[in-house]
């Protein structure tokens, strides 16, 4: 996975990710939009055969990077719990 920041502002973060499909980003978007600090979050895939995702995050009061990191930690904990449950 190759990540390129296209916009990096305090309350706005835009990323271009190569080498991924939208599976991961659908989970991440769902987690982010459920958080109170998030104004809007989304992603788009330009073409179904190209593994390139454009991801965008707008936050209200907390820095976008901080909110994104918190969401990823929560997702990681949820997936680890699921993994333990199916062993």
Structurally, how many domains does the chain consist of?
1
Is the pLDDT at 3 greater than 90? The verdict is: yes
Task: Read off the pLDDT of residues 63-79 as tens digits, 9 standing for 90 and up.
Answer: 999 999 999 999 999 98
SS3 of 2, please?
A: strand
> How buried is 4 (Cβ within 10 angstroms: 0-12 exposed, 13-18 middle, 19+ buried)?
exposed
Domain that holds residue 39: 2-85
Dihedral sign, Cα of residue 49, residue 5, residue 72, residue 60: negative
Task: Read off the pLDDT of residues 24-56 as tens digits, 9 standing for 90 and up.
Answer: 899 999 999 999 999 999 999 988 888 899 999
The CATH number of whichever domain residue 52 belongs to comes to 3.30.1360.10
Please state, in angstroms and rounded to a whole number, the distance separating the CA atoms of residues 39 and 24: 20
Spatial contact of 2 and 18, defined as CB atoms under 8 Å apart: yes
Please state, in angstroms and rounded to a whole number, the distance separating the CA atoms of residues 20 and 45: 10
- The CA-to-CA distance between both ends of the chain, in Å, stands at 28
């Amino acid at each position: 996975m190759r990540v390129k920041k296209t916009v990096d502002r305090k309350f706005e973060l835009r990323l271009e990710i190569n080498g991924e499909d939208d599976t991961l980003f659908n989970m991440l978007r769902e987690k982010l939009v459920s958080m109170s600090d998030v104004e809007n979050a989304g992603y788009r895939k330009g073409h179904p055969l190209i593994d390139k995702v454009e991801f965008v995050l707008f936050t209200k009061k907390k820095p976008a990077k901080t909110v994104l990191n918190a969401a990823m930690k929560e997702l990681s904990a949820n997936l680890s719990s699921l993994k333990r449950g199916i062993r």
